[in-house]
Amino acid sequence: MTGRAAAGAAAPAPGALPTAAGAPAPDAGPSASPDAGPSGLPGAGPSGLPGAGPSGLPGAGPSGSPGALPEVSVDLLVIGAGPTGLYAAYYAGFRGMSVAVADALPEVGGQIAALYPEKLIFDVAGFPAVRGQDLVDRLAEQAGRWNPVYLLGHGVTDLDDTDRGIVATTDAGARISAGAVLVCGGIGNFVPRELPVGSEYLGRGLRYFVPRLDELAGQDVVVVGGGDSALDWALSLEPLASSVTLVHRRTRFRAHERTVEQVRESSVRVLTPYEVEKVCGDGADGAVSEVVVASSGGDRITLPARSVVAALGFIADLGPIERWGLELRRRRILVDRTMRTSRERVFAAGDIADHDGKVSLISIGFGEAALAVNHVAALLDPARSITPGHSSDG
């Protein structure tokens, strides 16, 4: 590997993530108003929703003169700082490569940090259960051993071939020269499906994410939706909130059967088939004060509410990925058994990658990242073996 240093990268403070000059440093924890744009891709969506913020909001990229924007040169550019991207950054460093990680979000962790930092994850090897943010913190610590350069708040918009590799350009105007690119962009752009009523209360009680559960402690909370996220949030908020009511327009839930059982066994009030008809606020601070729900038969119930959590799913958009000349299948990037895409020097791993027999799990994303990085190592230096030594050897 060349071991090229990133031009303009400042040395990080102890415990901090190194960022390129001109790139905003990540927050210490999940943002209270996270940009819900994809890992590494510029956010998009209706105004006022996470991921759609105007320039200057989290995820929009730094402002300033062009001279302040970073020029970075590395062996491998990882697009996306979710779990797969963070593990790829670690593993590339282990294989002796210099690495940059670009992400449209203002912090590492991808969807987990932005949407589910408090949720427990049960299917990561070695952890009987691990809180989402704790997993992200461990992965960032692991990657930090090799000092990758982070460009957070930088959504990659363009990939241009050069005689020495690829130059990536971000929506903030940064340029990253790399020998190869590994796309770990999750599901692409994702913005929440809007609640049909009450949009005027967004940020004043209506929310689409719960990055910090304790923000809703002691409140009357109405959770709307019938999928895993809605039921998980209802269960997580039950011990903290004054009351939790789950509203779903159908009698059947889409969530895991065991989760449905846990909700029914809890103190969460379940109203089905009901829909939110109206969100009301008081005159004191203009915040949500109550919610009117109506059944399919016309019955109406007025619920006290200081917070409404609308967990109605997401609308995914591949964004600029569709312009990168990559072969796509089922709105994902098609890869071969080495995680190569149809474009030279571009690899993909994690949820964004598709291949026969694909199963979308965090643990599989880790394996795909390692597989891709080993083949990148041999691509950049044919003298290197695709099969690495054991990490315990050195």
Tokens of 202: 């967004």
Rounded CA separation 123/321 (Å): 29
Q: Rounded to 5 degrees, what are φ and ψ at 380? A: -75, -30
DSSP type of residue 195: P
How high is the pLDDT of residue 20? 61
- Which amino acid, one-letter code, is at 272? T
Strand 130-131 vs strand 120-121: parallel, antiparallel, or unpaired? Answer: antiparallel
Entry pTM: 0.72
Point out the residues of the chain with pLDDT beneath 50: 2-15, 21-67
Rounded CA separation 183/343 (Å): 12
Strand 220-224 vs strand 307-310: parallel, antiparallel, or unpaired? Answer: parallel
How high is the pLDDT of residue 1? 58
How high is the pLDDT of residue 13? 38
Task: Evaluate the CA torsion angle 380, 383, 384, 387 in order and state its sign.
Answer: positive
Cis peptide before 388 (omega within 30 of 0): no
How high is the pLDDT of residue 39? 40
How high is the pLDDT of residue 17? 60
Cα 93 to the center of its chain, rounded Å? 22
How high is the pLDDT of residue 66? 37
- Which amino acid, one-letter code, is at 14? P
Rounded CA separation 237/244 (Å): 7
223 neighbors 246 (Cβ within 8 angstroms): yes
Strand 99-103 vs strand 71-79: parallel, antiparallel, or unpaired? Answer: parallel
Question: How far from 119 is each of 214, 255, 364, CA to CA, in Å?
Answer: 13, 15, 20
How high is the pLDDT of residue 97? 97
Bin 153: left if φ > 0, else alpha if -120 < ψ < 50, else beta: left
Strand 346-348 vs strand 175-183: parallel, antiparallel, or unpaired? Answer: parallel
Q: Is 121 exposed, middle or buried (0-12, 13-18, 19+ CB in 10 A)?
A: middle
How high is the pLDDT of residue 200? 94
How high is the pLDDT of residue 100? 98
Rounded CA separation 253/314 (Å): 17
How high is the pLDDT of residue 15? 40
How high is the pLDDT of residue 187? 75
286 neighbors 253 (Cβ within 8 angstroms): no
How high is the pLDDT of residue 114? 76
DSSP type of residue 338: T
Convert the pLDDT of each residue in 159-196 to its tens digit. Answer: 999 999 999 999 999 999 999 999 998 876 667 889 99
- Which amino acid, one-letter code, is at 260? V
Rounded CA separation 377/27 (Å): 32
Query: Any residues with CB less than 8 A from the CB of 33 and at least 6 apart, and which?
Result: 50, 57, 58, 203
Rounded CA separation 126/122 (Å): 10
Choose among 375, 336, 346: nearest CA to 180.
346
20 neighbors 70 (Cβ within 8 angstroms): yes
76 neighbors 52 (Cβ within 8 angstroms): no
Tokens of 376: 């990148």
- Which amino acid, one-letter code, is at 306? R
How high is the pLDDT of residue 96? 95
How high is the pLDDT of residue 111? 84
Bin 366: left if φ > 0, else alpha if -120 < ψ < 50, else beta: alpha
